[in-house]
Amino acid sequence: MTDVIIAGGGPTGVMLASELRLHGVDVLVLEKLAEPTKEVRALGLHARSVEVMDQRGLLERFLELGTQHPVGNHFAGIAKPQTVRLDTAYPFTLGIQQPIVERLLTEHATELGVEIRRGAELGGVSQDDDGVTAELADGTQLRSRYLVGCDGGRSAVRKLLGIGFPGEPPKTQWLLGEMELTAPLEEVVAVVTEIRKTDLRFGVGPSGDGVYRVVVPAASVAEDRTVPPTMDELKQQLQVFAGTDFGVHSPRWLSRFGDATRLADRYRDGRVLLAGDAAHVHPPLGGQGLNLGIQDAFNLGWKLAAEVGGWAPEGLLDSYHTERHPVAAAVLDNTRAQSELMSIEPGPQAVRRLVSELMDLEEVHTYLIEKITGIGIRYDFGEGHALLGRRMRDVGLKSGRLYERMQTGRGLLLDRTGRLSVAGWEDRVEYVADVSEELDLPAALLRPDGYVAWVGEDQQDLNSHLSEWFGAAG
């Protein structure tokens, strides 16, 4: 019996698989596509996801293939000249296309020993007290102790389990694709610049190798989004919005996406869990979807590994829903707000002007960008120090950096007092006493995902929190 089966080999699925393998969990990833997709839906990683890559020793791979862009104009496309000062060592957006992200994460998972089985479509899921049975479309049956659905917005896992997915259906759809153009770049830039003065839903721009990325509102909402648009349909909509089709030809791929906004009513059903788009869908405003899924995986991985390993304290696995469901709800809300602000109707445009004025206040602008980038997330761990429930930024230690010490996927005690101990939890929590003056607190306990679970200097209080997050002492 496999420890964990993951349905879906996209970025969320392979990230989760890697997190589990760090703890020795046996993982099988099932991906229905025979080959990796070439569709470029997501275009980059926000600051918190960049931190995640650093915490697992992957950042150099991503920086080598990505482009760093200043943070600042992500909220509803409202352009502001000032730079936002985020509390992170990586105050930028890393421009990197989704297929590259998926490839790098897949390589990492493979290096850790994850088995990825392509062309394996899920046809059925059932569970009992001992495990989960996954039935593939070809009739093959597989058993695992747990199963996680990372299989996208049309999740077969979610539907097979009957997990509710309340929200709003799409009211608008866009046509999206990559293709070649005959129009000169100067003409494209001039036309697009003029259109985007009043309508930010439209865009045409180079994506490399002589190929352009085109996005344009569709004439109507298609009943089946999985059916790609035709080139004639795309050309017609370009004529409607731009008065030209730019001579588009030779498409690499074509697709549709909409503004449906839905959130699973629960992230766990017994031994089956959901992560990524299987748990939440929303308009792509602010580029948050890919990042949200990766951070779901980062939250879930160590908790599920603890459950499989037998050391999870009571309620730890359920805290995945408790913590991540509100985060997704907040993302759905901010994309709803951005959708309204991008409407071309007079009322929303008036609100947009007001929000733009408010964003001239640095505190307001920073608050909104912290939402988009994931830097502002705070889990509810109760009352206490300002850092409690927040992720800790990378800080310098007397030898090396904090994030370098987190690559094992274990918890971490940073102790400036030199008097504390993790005795009994050494197999789950690392101890670092050489903390530099950059950390202005006596001691802090970090979970494997980098969030601060305790701040203090009393050993008895520390032991209580070690038990709360890492189970009984060994």
The domain locations on the chain are 2-167+262-373, 173-258, 403-470
Q: pLDDT tens-digit profile of 13-68?
A: 999 999 999 999 999 999 999 898 888 888 899 999 999 999 999 999 999 999 99
pLDDT computed for residue 55 by the predictor: 98
pLDDT computed for residue 222 by the predictor: 85
Confidence of residue 343 (pLDDT cuts 50, 70, 90): confident
pLDDT(85) > 90 = no
Architecture of domain 173-258: 2-Layer Sandwich (3.30)
Residues 364-388, mean pLDDT to the nearest whole number: 94
pLDDT computed for residue 285 by the predictor: 84
pLDDT computed for residue 427 by the predictor: 96
The CATH class that applies to domain 403-470 reads alpha beta
pLDDT computed for residue 411 by the predictor: 98
Q: What percent of the chain has pLDDT over 70?
A: 99
Q: For the domain 2-167+262-373, what is the CATH code?
A: 3.50.50.60
Among 85-89, 266-270, 428-432, name the one with the lowest average pLDDT. Answer: 85-89
Q: pLDDT tens-digit profile of 216-274?
A: 999 998 877 778 899 999 999 999 999 999 999 999 999 998 889 999 999 999 999 99
pLDDT computed for residue 124 by the predictor: 96
CA dist list (Å): 46 to 25, 188, 228, 260, 316? 28, 28, 29, 22, 27
Q: pLDDT tens-digit profile of 295-311?
A: 999 999 999 999 999 99
